């Protein structure tokens, strides 16, 4: 071996020593166990929180025809990002933050689709009311929530309907707890006025019907 080859060999050895030992390759059994563990974790999140995600999306203004797609989109994000979840916040606040982003996108998409359908006369009549009133009550709540601005609506849903704390809400929205309290106070006042207007309208309608 000539001196240059020896020097090259020494250089490679020195580089390897500087870099340090490489990570051992992952064996197929280890990879399979990791994939199975990730799948179980995702299934657990879906089973425990699917109703919460659906409910949050509906309250955030996602239209009924797109709720299934929106829920699927949320859990697609969860599947990608669950390994990054560090539990610095609760899983529900983490999921709600994802719901916020998906809801914004779905509302924009649905509004565009409805505009196109209206242009071509493709809109359909609304569905019949639920005989037990549950669907009507949920729809009324959603209608009232839609009268709030998005910032106040998100705070009200998390605080009043999902019973999250002000620090949790602040972490989701990237705001101060004081701002949470301010938005919640304004949201409550606006909703109270909306409810009063609705009750007054119902009383007038009953009076006209007599």
**Which has more confidence, 85 or 132?**
85
Query: How confident is the model over 192-208, as a mean pLDDT?
Result: 82
Distance CA 197, CA 203 (A): 10
Tens of pLDDT, residue by residue over 55-97, are 999 999 898 888 999 999 999 999 999 888 877 778 999 999 9
Contacts of residue 83, Cβ cutoff 8 Å, sequence gap at least 6? 38
**Element housing 160 (H / E):** none
User: Residue 120's pLDDT is what?
Assistant: 46
* Contact between 126 and 25 (Cβ < 8 Å): no
User: Residue 125's pLDDT is what?
Assistant: 41
Q: Name the CATH architecture for the domain at 32-119.
A: Orthogonal Bundle (1.10)
In terms of average pLDDT, the best of 80-94, 117-131, 183-197 is 183-197
Distance CA 45, CA 27 (A): 27
User: Residue 134's pLDDT is what?
Assistant: 55
Q: Look at residue 18 and tell me whether its pLDDT is greater than 70.
A: no
- Domain range summary for the chain, segments of one domain joined by +: 32-119, 132-210
> To which residue do tokens 């998005």 refer?
150
Contacts of residue 110, Cβ cutoff 8 Å, sequence gap at least 6? 62, 63, 65, 66
> To which residue do tokens 């709600």 refer?
96
Q: Could you tell me the two tokens for 101?
A: 């982003």
Distance CA 27, CA 30 (A): 5
In terms of average pLDDT, the best of 20-24, 48-52, 136-140 is 48-52
Q: Look at residue 14 and tell me whether its pLDDT is greater than 60.
A: no
Q: Name the CATH architecture for the domain at 132-210.
A: Orthogonal Bundle (1.10)
**Element housing 25 (H / E):** none
**Which has more confidence, 195 or 51?**
51
Average pLDDT, the chain: 78
User: Residue 209's pLDDT is what?
Assistant: 62
Q: What is the DSSP letter of 123?
A: -
Percent of the chain with pLDDT over 70: 70
């Amino acid at each position: 071996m000539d001196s240059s080859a020896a020097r090259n060999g020494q250089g490679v050895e020195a580089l390897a020593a500087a870099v340090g030992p490489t990570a051992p390759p992952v064996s197929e059994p280890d990879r399979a166990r990791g994939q199975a563990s990730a799948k179980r974790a995702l299934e657990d999140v879906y089973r425990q929180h699917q109703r919460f995600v659906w409910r949050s999306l509906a309250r955030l203004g996602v239209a009924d025809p797109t709720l299934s797609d929106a829920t699927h989109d949320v859990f697609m994000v969860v599947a990608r990002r669950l390994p990054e979840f560090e539990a610095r916040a609760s899983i529900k606040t983490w999921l709600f933050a994802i719901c916020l982003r998906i809801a914004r996108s779905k509302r924009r998409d649905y509004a565009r689709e409805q505009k196109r359908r209206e242009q071509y006369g493709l809109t359909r009549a609304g569905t019949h009311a639920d005989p037990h009133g549950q669907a009507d009550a949920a729809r009324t709540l959603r209608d009232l929530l839609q009268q709030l601005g998005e910032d106040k609506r998100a705070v009200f849903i998390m605080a009043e309907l999902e019973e999250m704390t002000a620090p949790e809400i602040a972490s989701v929205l990237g705001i101060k707890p004081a701002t949470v309290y301010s938005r919640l106070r304004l949201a409550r006042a606006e909703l109270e006025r909306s409810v009063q207007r609705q009750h007054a309208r119902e009383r007038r309608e009953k009076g006209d019907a007599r």
